Structure 1
Amino acid sequence: MLDIFFLNNLEHLKIRLDDIKLATNNFSDTYKNSGDDYDARYTVELNHFDKGKPSFVEEKGKTTQPKIHNNTVLIKRFLPRDDEDEQELFFTELEVLITVKHPNIVTLIGFCVEGFEMMLIVEKFANGFLMDYLGNVCTLTWETRLKICIDVAHALSYIHSGMEDKKMIIHGNIASFKFGLDLNWRTKIEDFEWAVILPPDIKDETLYKRTYFESKYHVDPEYANTGKLKRESDVYSFGVVLFELICGRTAYDLIYLKESDKGLIDVARKNFRNGTIEGMIDPTLKEDTDKKSCIPNRGANKDSLHIFLKVANQCVSETQDQRPTMKVVLNELEKALVFQVS
């Protein structure tokens, strides 16, 4: 776990509290866009300059100023707590974001630790979050949905088994509101405060008792019941997101809660057993699935849907040992995309 001592080696990422207060008008609700019991979030234009350098640097007889940065950013302000969670959550996420560099993981711009304040500053997602597009009529084409899933699968496969130093990271909190969409619709995972970082050669599971979950509809039931967190816990949560995308609704949509208080996955399992799962597919995806259309991406290829449904169902298997690895999931999703675009 990182601590204050290691922060001294991250001078280039430090952003002054005064700069953040100026950008947020002293944390005005005008700039606040979300939050929970653990953090508050602000979207702002933030002007700051490279820290760890003097205000003016003499360079070959010329006086130059440090580089000024102007970014539209998301500020994640960790809220004070009576327990030790605040520091642990902050330093866990900071460690992940300075360790992991991947195109499908949110980019860390900087951080602030001053007085009682602990904040992370990350990129803002121009196209919002995946959850914003799930509703009564999902506006995303099937090809776009597949590419979103593949982006996330790449990131999860990487942190589970593809890191160069052989470390392993389990996200532990995967849900559709954790996936940001940038200007080019590339999908990135954020929020690693509940992640578990395991060193090389350590068994790929950890006993991690936790009582707080942002969405009980996305959490691995075996993890919730036993405290045994494994990579397969992320696979389960990702499987819930796969079903959200193919159904076009959130896991806790009222249409599912009316049928089961456990939400989408319980309803999907019943439909799989009854052979009626195709009835849950977002109707907009089934338009002209058997016909060639001059409108690009209008419908979804049936084989593509079937491959997707099969792997999604495997991901949400009730026990961890029945679930596929993220590498297997990624291969199946890429196969589904091939059927869609060919």
Structure 2
Amino acid sequence: MDGECTLYRAELHCFDKENPSSEKGKNIGEHPKGHDIVVIKRYPSGNQCFGEEELFTEIEMLSSVEHLNIVTLIGFCIEDSEMILVTENVSNGYLWNYLGNDNDMRILTWEKRLKICIDVANALEHLHSGMEDQKMIIHRDICPYNIGLDENGRAKIDGFGTCVFLPPNEEDEAVYIEWRGRSAYIDSEYEKTRKLKRESDVYSFGIVLLEILCGRRASDPIYTKENVRGLGPVARQSFCTGTLEDMIDPILKEETSECNFVLKRGPNKESLHTFMKIAYQCVAETQGQRPTTKVVVKELEKALSFQVSQCSKTLIFFIHMQNAC
């Protein structure tokens, strides 16, 4: 369950995801060779958060947008009270399942975490400003529930049932609409003004960045005991007092403190500080203080370059020491 629907993985024999119509016209009795694994989302009837309107919105959205970091729509079904959506398989599950699970988070090295963040940021930049017809889409529910990881660890955004379309030349306009996302990810300015903008997605994504940094869900009691809104306000305060580094995932600290010649998996100083700064800017209290997704992508890529550069230096040093021996 992801809070709104039940997820199934199914192997569809004789199905070619890249060319669904390829099996048409085959001779009777001929056995097709294609097959694929898909995710089937079954939405419960009477769901107050997700109905036919949301399903049609998601279908329209996924039918009109193609991006490496957005899930691919394969099919859907609406019959009586049944609502089913079929998308490509994200075989490594959703980010929500990793957070708070030490064994799963240990798989996600700092470099992998950075790449996941860059993937999501690229998808958001495409939605906010990269559409060919100049329309803009606000996702309105960016959270770990809606970030899947495929077999290569590539992140893909899902959950477009509550997204909002804006027509051309209105990218700077606000939409006054009810928020349908989860409380820990709600734009702090939206709560006061009901003004939904691209920066509202940026805020939600900033919470995800902090979750990946800290290794815990935003609604973890360790944060809600300090502030009812969870991780966002707590991390923002910690950044201002210079103590945000104390909140990072202990697994990352362990990897950083390894004292051997094995390539370090944890974050180096420049990478970590670049990441923390952009995450803090994303969760700024007002929309005007937040960066665009283009800036977010640039800063996250900078954090990754710092990390990769340090790993390369460590590798060169390791090789040098091996040769010296």
Please classify the TM superposition score into its range, dividing by the shorter chain length.
Answer: 0.7 to 0.9
Rounded to whole Å, the distance in 2 between the matches of 1:339 and 1:219 is 31
- State the 1:208 CA deviation: 4.0
3-state SS of the aligned residue for 1:77? strand
Whose strand fraction is larger, Structure 1's or Structure 2's? 1
- State the 1:328 CA deviation: 0.2
- State the 1:125 CA deviation: 1.2
Rounded to whole Å, the distance in 2 between the matches of 1:155 and 1:103 is 8
Indicate yes or no: 2:184 matched with 1:217: yes
User: What are the superposed Cα offsets for residues 109-159 of structure 1, whole Å, 9 maximum, x if unpaired?
Assistant: 111233443321011211111122221633111000000000001100011
Indicate yes or no: 2:283 matched with 1:316: yes
Rounded to whole Å, the distance in 1 between the matches of 2:297 and 2:260 is 28
User: What are the superposed Cα offsets for residues 180-238 of structure 1, whole Å, 9 maximum, x if unpaired?
Assistant: 0100001100010010011212243443432643x211111222333211110000000
Rounded to whole Å, the distance in 2 between the matches of 1:187 and 1:75 is 18
Corresponding residue number in structure 2 for 1:130: 95
Structure-to-structure mapping, 1:254-265, within 5 angstroms: 254-265=221-232
Q: Is the 8 A contact 1:78 1:117 kept in 2?
A: yes
Indicate yes or no: 2:158 matched with 1:190: yes
Rounded to whole Å, the distance in 2 between the matches of 1:305 and 1:82 is 41
Indicate yes or no: 2:203 matched with 1:231: no
Count of residues in Structure 1 that have an aligned counterpart in Structure 2: 304
TM score, norm. by length of structure 2: 0.84
Paired residue for 1:100, among 65, 69, 84? 65
- State the 1:80 CA deviation: 3.5
Indicate yes or no: 2:7 matched with 1:41: yes
Rounded to whole Å, the distance in 2 between the matches of 1:288 and 1:108 is 38
Query: Unaligned stretches of 5+ in structure 2?
Result: 310-325
- State the 1:240 CA deviation: 0.3
Code of the residue aligned with 2:64 in structure 1: it is: T
Corresponding residue number in structure 2 for 1:283: 250
Corresponding residue number in structure 2 for 1:9: none
Indicate yes or no: 2:263 matched with 1:296: yes
- State the 1:291 CA deviation: 8.1
Corresponding residue number in structure 1 for 2:78: 113
3-state SS of the aligned residue for 1:275? coil
Q: Is the 8 A contact 1:205 1:231 kept in 2?
A: no
Corresponding residue number in structure 2 for 1:20: none
Rounded to whole Å, the distance in 2 between the matches of 1:82 and 1:184 is 33
Corresponding residue number in structure 1 for 2:217: 250
Indicate yes or no: 2:208 matched with 1:241: yes
Structure-to-structure mapping, 1:146-225, within 5 angstroms: 146-210=114-178, 212-213=180-181, 215-225=182-192
RMSD: 2.9
TM score, norm. by length of structure 1: 0.80
Change (3 A) 1:82 1:261: closer
Corresponding residue number in structure 1 for 2:318: none
Indicate yes or no: 2:295 matched with 1:325: no
Rounded to whole Å, the distance in 1 between the matches of 2:231 and 2:55 is 32
Q: Is the 8 A contact 1:57 1:65 kept in 2?
A: no
Rounded to whole Å, the distance in 2 between the matches of 1:216 and 1:145 is 24
3-state SS of the aligned residue for 2:51? helix
Rounded to whole Å, the distance in 2 between the matches of 1:211 and 1:325 is 20
Q: Is the 8 A contact 1:290 1:301 kept in 2?
A: no
User: What are the superposed Cα offsets for residues 51-110 of structure 1, whole Å, 9 maximum, x if unpaired?
Assistant: 998x9738xxx7797967633222223344498962210111001101111010011111
Percent of pairs identical after alignment?
Answer: 52
Rounded to whole Å, the distance in 1 between the matches of 2:116 and 2:216 is 15
Whose helix fraction is larger, Structure 1's or Structure 2's? 2
Change (3 A) 1:112 1:228: same
Q: Using the TM superposition, name which of 247-256 and 97-106 deviates more.
A: 247-256
Q: Using the TM superposition, name which of 172-181 and 324-333 deviates more.
A: 172-181
- State the 1:290 CA deviation: 7.9
User: What are the superposed Cα offsets for residues 151-190 of structure 1, whole Å, 9 maximum, x if unpaired?
Assistant: 0011000110011111111100000121101000011000
Q: Is the 8 A contact 2:125 2:293 kept in 1?
A: yes
User: What are the superposed Cα offsets for residues 18-53 of structure 1, whole Å, 9 maximum, x if unpaired?
Assistant: xxxxxxxxxxxxxxxx154x5443332334769998
Rounded to whole Å, the distance in 1 between the matches of 2:248 and 2:24 is 61
Change (3 A) 1:57 1:176: closer
Q: Is the 8 A contact 1:130 1:181 kept in 2?
A: yes
3-state SS of the aligned residue for 1:296? coil
Q: Using the TM superposition, name which of 216-225 and 120-129 deviates more.
A: 216-225
Rounded to whole Å, the distance in 2 between the matches of 1:288 and 1:206 is 43
